[in-house]
Amino acid sequence: MLKTKLCVLAAVLPLTFASAPSQANEVAAALSNICNIVVADDKSELRKKIKTVSSNFRLKLKDYYTGVKCNGNSMIRTAVLNDAVEAGTLLVKKMPKKHLAAPEEDGKTLQAWIDEQGKGDSAIAVALLDRI
C-alpha cells in the first residue's frame, strides 16, 4: 500500500513542476503586447487585457506590474512619457495605494520620478496625487 502511494507520488510530482514553466510562458505571451496598448493609450483594450489575465491566470495587476517593463520603464512611467492619459489613469486606479507610493527599482517613487521629468501637471500625476 505504501509502495503504491510512493509510486503514484513519484509519477505525479514531476508533472506538477513541469506545468509551472509552461504557465509562466503563457502569462508572458498574454502580456506580450501590453506595452503597445499603453503607448497607444487604448483604455478599453488595456481593460480587456487586465481582465483576460485575471480570469485566465488568476493574477491581479499588482502581481505582474513590476515584472512588465516597457523600454526599461514601468507601465505607468511609460504612460506618462507617452502622454497616454486614459491608460495611465486606469493603471493608477487599478493599482493598490501602497504600491503607488512605494519606490520602484531605481529607488524613486512614481511621484518623485514624475516631478523629476517635469510632468507634474499631467492628468496622470493628478490622478496619482488623488490616489496617494
pLDDT digits (tens, 9 = 90+) for 45-97: 989 988 988 888 888 888 888 888 888 888 888 888 898 889 989 998 988 88
**String of b and e for 80-99 (b: at least 16 CB within 10 Å)?**
bbbebbbbbbbbbeebeeee
Query: Which three three-digit cell numbers place residue 63?
Result: 502581481
Residue among 96, 88, 85, 29 nearest 60 (CA): 96
Residue among 62, 87, 74 nearest 117 (CA): 74
pTM value is 0.74
**Are residues 119 and 128 in contact, defined by beta-carbon separation less than 8 angstroms?**
no
**What is the identity of the amino acid at 32?**
S
How confident is the model at residue 44, as a pLDDT?
92
- List CB contacts of 62: < 8 A, sequence separation 6 or more: 95, 96, 99
CA distances from 28 to 11, 33, 38 (A): 28, 9, 16
pLDDT digits (tens, 9 = 90+) for 5-55: 334 434 444 544 444 566 677 777 767 788 888 889 889 998 998 898 888
> For the chain, how big is the Rg over CA atoms in Å?
19
Residue 3: in which H helix or E strand, if any? helix 2-30
